[in-house]
């Protein structure tokens, strides 16, 4: 009997969920790409304070779904989404309306809470609206929507910042979230969640069990080193670019180099590494990522060779720092194509037998730790090597940025350390597994 062909046809709920995700990602990334700049310039946080605020926000938004997902199951997906986008719309609007420290922290708490509902609900909807045979195809469309939304959000942020000001990016994000709220209200039909999901106690017990597993957590923390460098796209790069290149620079558009490279190379790279061990693919990623930071750090060398402008095939010119950033960010994207397809596969092998599903449900802890470290460390490094120009005298400005590129040497070191630790981790785990196999033989 001939096997039925796979279809691109999915139920209405699936497409509605994808449209909602597109608007939510466009709102989030439009705001997030300039959040650190906004908190320092408009709200008045120092670079160090901004690092802590954004670090807690960006890390908790990945940890919270562990618990908000259980609430969504009890509330029903539709009610939870309405609450989520009400919080997001209000949070984004509040963030732009009153740029004061207390209001900003409150607004970010609303955004964090609202955002933590959206991801488990939308991914849950995608899963429920597709059968086992079509699930991979369903998620491929979903992740395409995620990337399109992120790309659009960051692209629109640049003209809004230049023409209207940073505050209006938050109003744009509020508008996108409000459109999503309207779509949920009129178009999203609730799905049956009876008997699904975990209780809050089960989620907490599972988290504690995972945190106690040294082998699994060691891998989580090692790979967090990769994402800590990757997330400098949002922590360091916007301020670094605007302070060194000038207000005409486009950190929002530079950040889009990463997803562009991922889209172009993820399929051929995944095909290339399909026959090698997952840890080898992860190792390649961790070997590439230090060079992404190092290439950005070497921008003064490029400046010494080319001067303040680099000719691009005689068509136009770019600042040497911009060229270095494009190359470094492209390397980040390439490294990601080696890591992402194989990380979950390797992580599942470090979990106790029979508990792979439980442990993979907490694999996002790597992003939690990465974001906390990435943004907090960025705040201190910016304060030391690339300080806020408003805190400097004209005399200080002449020499304040001479060593700004040292920031990237630090992150190159983080990446190299992560690679070395992965090699040690593999050796230790292989030795333990070999001894256990001998004992049970």
Average pLDDT over residues 41-64: 97
Average pLDDT over residues 183-193: 83
Within 13 Å of residue 92, how many CA atoms lie on the same side as its CB?
27
Could you tell me if 154 and 103 are in contact, meaning their C-beta atoms sit under 8 angstroms apart? no
Containing 303, the helix (H) or strand (E) segment is helix 299-306
Q: Do domains 10-196 and 198-441 have the same CATH topology?
A: yes
pLDDT at residue number 1: 39
The span from the CA of 287 to the CA of 251, in Å, is: 25
* Chain segment 99-139, per-residue pLDDT in tens: 999 999 999 999 999 999 998 888 888 888 877 777 767 87
For the chain, give every domain's residue range: 10-196, 198-441
pLDDT grade, residue 184 (50/70/90)?
A: very high
Q: How far is CA 375 from CA 228, 296, 301, in A?
A: 8, 18, 27
pLDDT at residue number 193: 57
* Chain segment 334-356, per-residue pLDDT in tens: 999 899 878 878 888 887 877 77
pTM: 0.91
Three-class DSSP category at 316: strand
Could you tell me if 422 and 279 are in contact, meaning their C-beta atoms sit under 8 angstroms apart? yes
Q: How far is CA 301 from CA 27, 213, 304, 317, in A?
A: 37, 45, 5, 17
Average pLDDT over residues 178-187: 96
Find all residues with CB under 8 Å of 146, minimum gap 6, and list them: 21, 22, 25
Answer whether residue 2 shows pLDDT above 90. no
Average pLDDT over residues 242-265: 92
Q: Which CATH superfamily is domain 10-196 in?
A: MFS general substrate transporter like domains (1.20.1250.20)
pLDDT grade, residue 3 (50/70/90)?
A: very low
- CATH architecture entry for 198-441: Up-down Bundle (1.20)
Answer whether residue 13 shows pLDDT above 90. no
Answer whether residue 428 shows pLDDT above 90. yes
Answer whether residue 265 shows pLDDT above 90. no
Q: Which two three-digit tokens encode residue 243?
A: 């302070």
Q: Name the percent of the chain in helix, strand, coil, to the closest 5.
A: 80, 0, 20
Question: What is residue 108's DSSP assignment?
Answer: H
Answer whether residue 174 shows pLDDT above 80. yes
Could you tell me if 286 and 225 are in contact, meaning their C-beta atoms sit under 8 angstroms apart? yes
DSSP lists the bridge partners of residue 311 as: 317
Average pLDDT over residues 14-29: 95
Could you tell me if 212 and 117 are in contact, meaning their C-beta atoms sit under 8 angstroms apart? no
Could you tell me if 167 and 96 are in contact, meaning their C-beta atoms sit under 8 angstroms apart? yes
Round the average pLDDT of the chain to a whole number and report it.
Answer: 90
Find all residues with CB under 8 Å of 259, minimum gap 6, and list them: 147, 150, 151, 333
The span from the CA of 110 to the CA of 104, in Å, is: 10
Q: Which residue has better confidence, 428 or 12?
A: 428
Find all residues with CB under 8 Å of 135, minimum gap 6, and list them: 127
Q: What's CA 8's distance to the chain center, in Å?
A: 28
């Amino acid at each position: 009997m001939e096997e039925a062909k796979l279809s691109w046809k999915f139920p209405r709920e699936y497409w509605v969920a994808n449209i909602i995700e597109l608007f939510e990602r466009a709102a989030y990334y439009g705001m997030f790409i300039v959040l650190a700049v906004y908190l320092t310039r408009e709200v008045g946080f120092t670079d160090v304070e901004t690092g802590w605020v954004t670090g807690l926000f960006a890390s908790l938004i990945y940890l919270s779904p562990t618990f908000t997902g259980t609430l969504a199951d009890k509330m029903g997906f539709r009610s939870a989404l309405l609450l989520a986008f009400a919080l997001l719309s209000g949070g984004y609007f509040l963030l732009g309306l009153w740029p004061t420290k207390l209001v900003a922290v409150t607004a970010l708490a609303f955004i964090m809470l609202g955002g933590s509902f959206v991801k488990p609900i939308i991914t849950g909807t995608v899963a429920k609206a597709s059968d086992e045979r079509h699930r991979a195809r369903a998620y491929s469309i979903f992740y395409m929507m995620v990337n399109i939304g992120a790309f659009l959000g960051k692209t629109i942020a640049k003209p809004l910042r230049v023409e209207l000001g940073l505050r209006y990016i938050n109003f744009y994000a509020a508008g996108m979230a409000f459109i999503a709220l309207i779509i949920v209200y009129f178009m999203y039909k609730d799905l049956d969640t009876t008997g699904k999901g975990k209780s809050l106690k089960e989620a907490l017990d599972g988290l504690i069990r995972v945190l106690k597993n040294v082998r699994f957590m060691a891998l989580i923390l090692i790979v967090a080193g990769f994402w800590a460098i990757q997330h400098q796209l949002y922590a360091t790069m916007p301020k670094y670019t605007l302070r060194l290149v000038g207000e005409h620079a486009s950190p929002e558009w530079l950040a889009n180099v990463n997803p562009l490279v991922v889209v172009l190379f993820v399929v051929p790279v995944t095909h290339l590494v399909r026959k090698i061990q997952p840890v080898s693919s992860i190792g390649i990623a961790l070997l590439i990522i230090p060079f992404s930071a190092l290439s950005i750090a070497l921008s003064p060398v490029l400046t010494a060779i080319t001067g303040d402008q680099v000719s691009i095939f005689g068509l136009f010119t770019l600042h040497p720092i911009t060229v270095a950033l494009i190359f470094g960010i492209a390397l980040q994207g390439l490294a990601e194509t080696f890591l992402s397809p194989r990380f979950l596969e390797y992580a599942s092998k470090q979990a106790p037998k029979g508990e792979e599903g439980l442990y993979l449900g907490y694999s996002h802890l790597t992003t939690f730790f990465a974001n906390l470290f990435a943004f907090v460390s960025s705040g201190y490094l910016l304060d030391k090597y690339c300080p806020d120009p408003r805190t400097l005298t004209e005399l200080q400005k002449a020499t304040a940025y001479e060593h700004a590129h040292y920031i990237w040497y630090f992150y190159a070191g983080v990446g190299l350390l992560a690679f070395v630790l992965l090699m040690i981790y593999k050796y230790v785990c292989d030795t333990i597994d070999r001894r256990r196999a001998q004992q049970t033989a």
